[in-house]
Amino acid sequence: MSGALITLEGVEGSGKTTQMMRLERWLRQQGRKVEHTREPDGTRLGVAVRRLFERPGVHPQPLVEVFLFMAARQQHVAEKIRPWLDRGRVVLCDRYADATVAYQGYARGVDPDLIRELNVRATSGVLPDLTLLFDLDPAEGLKRNRLKGRRLDRFEREAIAFHRRVRRGYLEICRAEPKRVRLIRAARPPAVVEAEVRAIVEEFLRGA
Ligand SMILES: Nc1ncnc2c1ncn2[C@@H]1O[C@H](COP(=O)(O)OP(=O)(O)O)[C@@H](O)[C@H]1O
Ligand SMILES: [Mg+2]
């Protein structure tokens, strides 16, 4: 495998999607071959999983959420991420393995170490080479998203306390693996965040 997997993580509204699109454009300008994708809807099966979460009367237990996201992840790695990496692509993925540790682990109370183990299996060992963690007060992120005015999903509808646990979970993940997981203060203008993202990714790709 010769490509690189870069994941973008953070609470709702922290700027993951915005920065992924900007980073992709910039990497293309640098002549890099880039792909972007997102979890869980990177595959048809993943789209079905996301829709299942939104079905009325569907209330998965925390561990069931874990299994469903892991199922989507295994399919995503097999259908898209590994083939891209094999072709030497830089792969940008909007949420990935750490999201399950933060959301279902730290925020919903499933053992984070169990989730880490399942992630190794579900990814077939395809773990991120670099993770950009957009750190933001979740109240600010939810406010940004409300401005967009679209319907909130199952996770966005959770209480603010849930989102604060997600944020703390991500910070734990970062503390445990500071070399892989790079913390970016996301409460700054998009162009400022983008410049820091570029600097981090440039340094990473030079060393890769
Ligand atoms: N640095 C920023 N400052 C203010 N608003 C931002 C910033 N980055 C993104 N936004 C806006 O906040 C909303 C959420 O951003 P988005 O990239 O969709 O976040 P995420 O993908 O992490 O949920 C969007 O409306 C976006 O335009
Ligand atoms: Mg997004």
Average pLDDT on 26-48 reads 97
How remote is the CA of residue 184 from the centroid of ligand 1, in Å? 14
Atom index in ligand 1 nearest the CA of residue 19 equals 17
CATH architecture group of domain 4-207: 3-Layer(aba) Sandwich (3.40)
Q: Is the CB of 74 under 6 A from ligand 1?
A: no
Q: Is the CB of 149 under 6 A from ligand 1?
A: no
Record the pTM. 0.97
Average pLDDT on 9-15 reads 97
Q: With 60 as the cut, is the pLDDT of residue 1 above it?
A: no
Residue 126, number of CB atoms within 10 A of its CB: 21
How remote is the CA of residue 33 from the centroid of ligand 1, in Å? 25
Q: With 90 as the cut, is the pLDDT of residue 154 above it?
A: no
Residue 205, number of CB atoms within 10 A of its CB: 16
How remote is the CA of residue 117 from the centroid of ligand 1, in Å? 31
CA 189 to chain centre: 21
Locate the domains of the chain by residue range: 4-207
Q: 3-class DSSP state for residue 32? A: coil
- C-alpha atoms less than 13 angstroms from C-alpha of 183 in its C-beta half-sphere: 15
For atom 3 of ligand 1, the residue with the nearest CA is 189
